[in-house]
Amino acid sequence: MEKQLHLNVLASRPPVSGGLQSRSKMRMGPGRKRDFSPLSWSEYFEAMEDVEVENDNAKDTFRIYCSGQHGPVLLLLHGGGHSALSWAVFTAVIYNRINCRVVAMDLRAHGDTKVKNSDDLSAETMAKDIGKVVEALYGENPPPIMMIGHSMGGAIAVHTAAANHVPSLLGLCVIDVVEGTAMDALNSMQNFLRSRPKTFKSVENAIEWSVKSGQIRNVESARVSMGGQVKKCEEPLNSPGVSKSISDGIIEEEEEEEEEGESNHKRKKEDDQEVKETLYTWQIDLSKTEKYWEGWFSGLSALFLSCPVPKLLLLAGVDRLDKDLTIGQMQGKFQMQVLPQCGHAVHEDAPEKVADALASFMVRHKFTEFKEGFLC
């Protein structure tokens, strides 16, 4: 059970008792449903851009979302299977707290990034990607950059910093990834991935699943984030693989929603008709990336401690430090904060708490200042 609580690679922790999932079963009044409709990136970021970089005699295009024109850059790197949109709500919150610019990036094979070799998800290749995007954006004189990564993105941020691919690096923030627990979780990861739905009948259905399963406990964040995790199925609808998995992706309506007078049989029939119109599946098949998992996390603690910039480690409440990090913390080599009652997607579940921790860290180190009028 403990290993299941530490799926730090890609997965969210199961919801705690009395958390969002249990509240989702509460009645919301006659005829009212929870809103799982998608939200646009433009409600949280000021701009979207495709950044083109040269890579092995080919051009790769990386999707980024940006806000702000002044101050240090917060370079945000998402976890495995997620996208830059997982930072949407956090971006709106942090941007109101401190003077900064935000650049959230879709990593290789994720989101709307298009690369020639989408199968190479090695830590070395992804770290180089980040350096090339920074260079494409800012040239030879990049502004001060604070790199912030969640889960896999946190591991890649450490590899990027250790290889000095971002020469103007101010500081490093790693969210909910610890080498020891991540390595322990690798044996359980394929089972976790197999337990997820293979298809969804709509983006709304994917959002609903993410909230009710506890993957993302913040409904607002799920509504903007899940659109970057799923895509329309490319396989024909009559293929065995798709038809077999249709029912896996359908979330049964809550009991109170059945009070509208429709029978289960009629509802199922209508769902089947909807499914025939279009299906959505995961943007990336994470099970096929297994050969890279160990490379992301092995030796991560020592690499993290070796980075010469100020460092912040933010953890969900159930995580523990491994030996190297415990010693490093006692020696004052990094700052750590535990955010209780969060799932693995800490920055989505509690964007305000993460923004408060990060803003305080950056102001304390004189990287930036609180915005005028913001009461810290």
In the residue annotation, 6 being an active-site residue is answered as: no
Which residues lie below 8 Å from residue 106, measured CB to CB, with a gap of 6+?
Answer: 62, 63, 64, 78, 83, 84, 112, 113, 228
**Cβ 229 vs Cβ 282: under 8 Å:** yes
Structure tokens at 60: 């790769």
Q: Which of 60, 106, 176, 324 is catalytic?
A: 176
In the residue annotation, 110 being an active-site residue is answered as: no
Going edge to edge, which strands form the sheet with 311-316? 47-55, 58-67, 101-105, 73-77, 145-150, 169-175, 311-316, 335-339
Separation between Cα atoms, residue 272 and residue 274, nearest integer Å? 5
3-state secondary structure of 325: helix
Most distant CA pair in the chain, distance: 65
Strand partners, 148: 76, 173
Q: Which of 67, 83, 86, 151 is catalytic?
A: 151
In the residue annotation, 17 being an active-site residue is answered as: no
Q: 83 to each of 64, 184, 186, 305, how far by Cα in Å?
A: 10, 25, 21, 27
Structure tokens at 43: 């409600």
Of 104, 191, 197, the C-alpha closest to 149 is 104
CA-CA-CA-CA torsion sign (219, 220, 223, 224): negative
**Cβ 294 vs Cβ 6: under 8 Å:** no
What crossing angle do the helices spanning 351-364 and 88-95 adopt, rounded to 10°? 50
Q: Which of 82, 165, 344, 347 is catalytic?
A: 344
Residues designated as active site: 151, 176, 344
